[in-house]
Amino acid sequence: METPAESLFRAEVAQWLQAHVPERLRHLTFRPHPSEGMPWYKQLSARGWIAPHWPVSHGGMDATPVQQVILMEELARAGAPDIPTQGLNHIGPILIECGTPAQRARHLPAILAGNVIWCQGYSEPGAGSDLASLRTRAVIEGDSLVISGHKIWTTWGHHAHWMFSLVRTSDGEARQHGITFVLIDLKSPGISRRPIRTIAGDDEFCEVFLDDVRVPVTNVVGEIDGGWKVATALLSEERLRIGSPALALKALLRLRRLAASLPQSSRTDELLAHAEIETETLIASFLNVAEAEQAKTATDSSYLKILATETVLNILDALQEIAGEDAPIRDATLTPHGYLDYSEMFLQSRRLPIYGGTNEVQRNIIATKVLGMPATRRRQ
Ligand SMILES: Cc1cc2nc3c(=O)[nH]c(=O)nc-3n(C[C@H](O)[C@H](O)[C@H](O)COP(=O)(O)OP(=O)(O)OC[C@H]3O[C@@H](n4cnc5c(N)ncnc54)[C@H](O)[C@@H]3O)c2cc1C
């Protein structure tokens, strides 16, 4: 049950979105190009709703988890387009927690205003789940790091201005030692990028090549050689945000629309009821984890990442089932209840169990860190 203040907030958000989400960007099946999407980002920012989970002292809303969910629900209902989130959800919160005052002053306002797009340079060919085996190297020369290596699967890397990245600065006894977390200006000489097309036909990510790229030592977050701690704190925050119900709400909306446009059937009713219950379960779980995190109570977001991503997959599987022979249609189709994409979001959702750490790896984390089961022995 919402409190009267929460209901008021919902009404205010719904009314504002109804009036301001640009018509041509509503219910898109893909994230719009920055030239179209960033003006919307800036509008949301000017309204003060771009960073609900950031503290007010850094330009956020200090929104309660319930307010955060209200925003997500209303954004989904209004068909608001996806915006880039690596700045808002990944590097922003980490700079608030571990950045220097100079790093915060330089980067946080630009993220909030939508003047800068960030990307995440963790994965490399041969270093995904086994991230600590990364081979991009940095040598310290005076007050610079000189970086060479190759990053891959970098979401929106070809649109980004800055990349937060992990580089090897020394070979410690354990592979997690000797890794440094660094902020790289993508205008620096020595950087080239190559977009990668996904199964859904969009170019969501790219490869980033670094060839003797000079980065000031002042761009290191945390300690040189001590970046693993920062990297894993960021991954935990990333899993919490991937674990939000935002995507499930969008998928559910599509399923509701399709169900409403078809003749009544008990199978459709059953699939729809199941999807509604799963989404409510996800919302409750997100509230639980987000509240624990706000209260600084120890928690693990791995199960939330699994729950959120598998809920979306289940809803879109249901959509494919009831779409019947229309399931493979690629272009959005006009139904009596608005535009509907049958296969676009389905294809895009194949990536969900992979990014942010695969769901298999999240299950390993739950087994070892939450349930205390023995870890498989591996090379250190
Ligand atoms: C859409 C998308 C966007 C992405 N965006 C970014 C980004 O912006 N920045 C970035 O740095 N990376 C990004 N990634 C990369 C992502 O983090 C990696 O793909 C992921 O961590 C898996 O690594 P890998 O692809 O090397 O697969 P691998 O690690 O080679 O894994 C292959 C398979 O083996 C399984 N596996 C591996 N190890 C274990 C184990 N110990 N136990 C059980 N199963 C295991 C995995 O679950 C997987 O099924 C993105 C990926 C996708 C799909």
Asked whether residue 336 is domain-assigned, the answer is yes
Residue 348 lies inside a defined structural domain of this protein: yes
Q: Are residues 154 and 60 located together in one domain of the fold?
A: no
pLDDT tens, position by position, 84-136: 999 999 999 999 999 999 999 999 999 999 999 999 999 999 999 999 999 99
Q: Which domain holds residue 144?
A: 118-226
Do 220 and 323 lie in one domain? The reply is: no
Q: Are 122 and 72 within one domain?
A: no
Residues 215, 267: one domain?
no
102 within domain boundaries: no
The verdict on residue 216 lying in a domain is yes
Number of domains in the chain: 3
Whether residues 138 and 176 share a domain: the answer is yes
Residue pLDDT, tens place only, 324-379: 998 988 887 777 777 788 888 899 999 999 999 999 999 999 999 889 998 876 55
Instruction: State in Å: Cα 338 to ligand 1 middle.
Output: 36
**Same domain as 366, residue 307:** yes
Let me know the angle formed at the C-alpha of 325 by 322 and 327, rounded to the nearest 5 degrees. Answer: 65
Statement to judge: residues 357 and 258 lie in one domain: yes
What pLDDT, on a 0 to 100 scale, did the predictor assign at position 379? 53
Note the pLDDT tens digit of each residue in 195-220.
999 888 888 899 999 999 999 999 99
Q: Is the CB of 351 under 6 A from ligand 1?
A: yes
Q: Which residues are CB-contacts of 121 (< 8 A; sequence separation ≥ 6)? A: 136, 151, 154, 157, 163, 164, 165, 166, 184, 208
Distance between CA atoms of 137 and 148, rounded to whole angstroms?
A: 6
Task: Please give the angle made by the CA atoms of 309, 312 and 314, to the nearest 5 degrees.
Answer: 110
The pLDDT score that the predictor gives to residue 294 is 83
332 and 266 in a common domain: yes
357 in contact with ligand 1, CB cutoff 6 A: yes
For 269-321, the pLDDT digits (tens) are 999 999 999 999 999 999 999 999 888 886 788 999 999 999 999 999 999 99
- Please give the share of the chain, as a percent, with pLDDT higher than 90: 83
Do 195 and 266 share a structural domain? no
CA atoms within 13 A on the CB side of 285: 23
CA distance 359 to 352: 9
Our mutation pick for probing the ligand 1 site, out of 351, 352, 354, counting the most ligand atoms within 8 A of Cβ, is 354
pLDDT, residue 100, reads 98
Query: What is the model's pLDDT at position 377?
Result: 62
Determine if ligand 1 sits within 6 Å of the CB of residue 164.
Answer: no
Q: What is the CATH number for 356?
A: 1.20.140.10
Instruction: Please compute the mean of the pLDDT values over residues 14-21 and round it to a whole number.
Output: 97
Token pair, residue 20, equals 């301001």
- Residue pair 56/63 in contact by the 8 Å Cβ criterion: no
The C-alpha atoms of residue 195 and residue 204 are separated, in whole angstroms, by 8
pTM for this prediction: 0.94
232 to 48, 131, 132, 237: CA distances (angstroms)? 29, 10, 11, 9
Is 92 within a domain? no
* Listed residue (109, 183, 193) closest to 156, CA to CA: 193
Arithmetic mean of pLDDT over the chain = 93
**pLDDT value of position 12:** 98
Instruction: Indicate whether 131 belongs to any domain.
Output: yes
Q: What is the mean pLDDT of residues 210-235?
A: 97
> Are residues 144 and 39 part of one domain?
no
Closest CA to 209 of 192, 194, 186: 192
